[in-house]
Structure 1
């Protein structure tokens, strides 16, 4: 193999004149990836829970809205959704809002579009997990909540959701991991995340293997941290008699 390995290139000053190293570029991209992914996960969890509940309420119109939402966001490829949020949605907004978005710095446009797109795309998947968790509960739990005088909302809030969330921690872990990996697609609209910085490093140094091995290790470390965190959450929240319970 004629490839010339040079791990020291990561500690070399960047050729653009910035006061940083190529490793600094990767750390900058890592920070963007983590920030975008965690922000999108908050959106995904909130919106996904809302539509997951809608899909289980005894109202065909409400459940129909949830079904349409899931169908739209799950059937359109993620990369297409990124371009829709970045290029199309600003043109469909009221003129004042669209102009405000277009006047933002490019980095802010990339960042906000990525968070919204990734959050809503993942929320459709979280919605299905929440729906499955609620439907896995015995019907008697809903009836018991209503018999105690709870409203429909209170029954979900105090009876169904606290148990459903505990059941779906394992599949939510998978979605949490996926959101970090899917964030790499945001580089297609210009976001300088971890994968984009890796490609930039290759463009300036031609050290392909060092760049992408470093990025691979970074994604593996993120996954290990997420898995350990979610295992701790699962151990703390598991219920006897349910999946994962003792």
Structure 2
């Protein structure tokens, strides 16, 4: 492992950079998109609920690799050329947002309905009440499952390797193919993933205790 780490440090560092960038972008946009579809699922508009439900059910039940491959192989054929990193990040965003939507929806529905009614009675619109009153309480309730989704997102970023996204897994494949040291190549990358995901897990636990 030490030989792989020292001999291929530049490649691993490059892969780490692309993995972190993809994870951060996907986390940011999936949280926004997921929260939006979560709100749509609890609105009074039937059409909005149906659209949100279809989105969540479709993308929760399609494998991440299929979604990513669609953007990497199909979209360039008919619409616009997309590189591996972009396709992987888009696929990761869409896939994760569907799970976040369900998580946030459960948090919203766990908040006492009187909170929304009281906010509306004081003159706030539905969206204002959701933004200032309901969502802050909902996010506090769903910190543990959201933390799990964030950790899964980082691990799922390895899908970029299948579309030449230059991430850690992509670099591991290249190193293994050139050195023929498959075991140590993947062990090194596995350890790097641990160093990324474990701090996230511990921080989410700390945040959960702090806000309890």
Please indicate the TM-score interval, normalised by the length of the shorter structure: over 0.9
* 1:43 aligned counterpart, secondary structure: helix
Instruction: Tell me the TM-score normalized by structure 1.
Output: 0.82
Q: Computing the radius of gyration over CA atoms, which structure comes out larger, 1 or 2?
A: 1
Q: Which residue of structure 2 aligns with residue 31 of structure 1?
A: 17
Whether 2:190 is the aligned partner of 1:216: answer yes
Give per-residue Cα distances to partners, 1:13-36, cap 9 Å, x unaligned.
xxxxxxxxx122112111111110
1:40 pairs with 2:37: no
Q: Which runs of 5+ in 2 are unaligned?
A: none
Q: 2:140 aligned with 1:166, yes or no? A: yes
Q: Does 1:152 align with 2:126?
A: yes
Deviation at 1:138, TM superposition (A): 1.2
Tell me, in whole angstroms, the C-alpha distance in 2 between the residues paired with 1:127 and 1:74: 10
Q: Summarize deviations over 1:26-58 as a string: whole Å, max 9, x none.
A: 121111111101111111000000000000111
Instruction: In structure 1, list runs of 5 or more residues that go unmatched.
Output: 1-5, 13-21, 103-108, 239-244
Structure 2 distance, partners of 1:130, 1:8, is 44
Would the aligned equivalents of 1:118 and 1:183 in 2 still touch at CA under 8 Å?
Answer: yes
Alignment match of 2:50 (pick from 40, 52, 64)? 64
Partner of 1:124, secondary structure, is: helix
Tell me whether 1:77 sits opposite 2:63 in the alignment: yes
Shift of 1:114: 1.4
1:233 to 204, 207, 210: 207
Cα distance, 1:141 vs structure 2: 1.0
Match of 2:155?
Answer: 181
Query: What is the RMSD of the two structures over their aligned residues, measured on CA atoms?
Result: 1.5
Distance 1:61 1:161 in 2: 22
Q: Give the number of the structure whose residues are more often helix, by fraction.
A: 2
- Distance apart, 1:224 and its partner CA: 1.2
**3-state SS of paired residue (1:133):** helix
Cα distance change on mapping 1:10 and 1:137 into 2, 3 Å = closer
Q: Deviations over 1:185-206 (max 9, x none)?
A: 1211111211111111111111
State the Cα distance separating 1:135 from its structure 2 match: 0.5
Q: Are 2:175 and 1:201 aligned?
A: yes
